[in-house]
Amino acid sequence: MRTKRFPSGIAAGLALAAAVSASQGDLPLTAPVPGGVAIVCVGRGPGPAPQVVFDGQRVLVARVGDVWNAVVGLPLGLRPGAHELSVLEGEETARAIPFKVGRRDYETQHVTLANRRQVEPEPEDLRRIAREQESLVRAFSTFSDTALDTLTLDLPSGGRVSGGFGLRRFFNDEPRQPHSGLDIAAPEGT
């Protein structure tokens, strides 16, 4: 079996689109914690979707009935406490809408690796990692005004979930960044 890894679909998908018309059941479950999703009412009425910004990034806005909801992907490193969205409707001055982010303790995983290079990357590995990180930052920072038909995201493959989002990993007892994807143990080649 080979483990497939892919970035957190929710956070990535939310950064890529402007507005969607949805039913309440189409919205992700609200979990306003680091690594979760906050659903925040940002307006009502028949007008166009307001522009919403969180932490310097545009946010997806979804209409349910006559309510506009910001669907905010919350970074794993976000501190719990009070935060706010900046909401702009037309030419008006932006207004702030506060919301709270709670705490969440993610599970830990201790992995013992025989290949030291996977724990302490060599200079060539570090250069590759930096290139990949730069590419990911560009992708996750991209925002499109394209309207979505749905917020439903499908898994890329069937299989057992072998590594969960937010997992605190230790390689050979050395702490690493929290896991920002979902691992699926799938047959090789799928």
The proportion of the chain whose per-residue pLDDT surpasses 70, expressed as a percent, equals: 87
> pLDDT tens digits for 33-69?
999 999 999 999 888 889 999 999 999 998 888 999 9
**Per-residue pLDDT at 1 exceeds 70:** no
As given in the structure block, the two tokens for residue 27 are: 């919205």
Q: What's the pLDDT at 146?
A: 77
Q: What's the pLDDT at 4?
A: 38
Identify the CATH number of the domain in which residue 4 sits: 2.60.40.1590
How far does CA 57 lie from the centroid of its chain?
Answer: 12
> pLDDT tens digits for 68-85?
999 999 999 999 999 999
Overall domain count for the chain: 1
Q: What's the pLDDT at 105?
A: 93
The predicted model gives 113-125 an average pLDDT of 91
DSSP string, 8-60: -HHHHHHTS-SEEE--GGGSPPP--STTSEEEEEEEESSSPPPEEEETTEE-E
Poorest-pLDDT segment among 7-16, 97-106, 132-141: 7-16
The answer to whether the CB of 36 falls within 8 A of the CB of 10 is no
Whole-prediction pTM: 0.77
Half-sphere exposure of 26 (CA within 13 A, CB side): 15
Q: What's the pLDDT at 89?
A: 84
Q: What's the pLDDT at 8?
A: 43
Where residue 22 falls among pLDDT bands split at 50, 70, 90?
Answer: low
**Per-residue pLDDT at 16 exceeds 50:** no
Where residue 10 falls among pLDDT bands split at 50, 70, 90?
Answer: very low
Which of the pair, 145 or 57, is modelled with greater confidence? 57
d(C-alpha 92, C-alpha 36), whole Å:
30
d(C-alpha 147, C-alpha 97), whole Å:
23
Which residue range(s) make up the domain with 104?
1-190
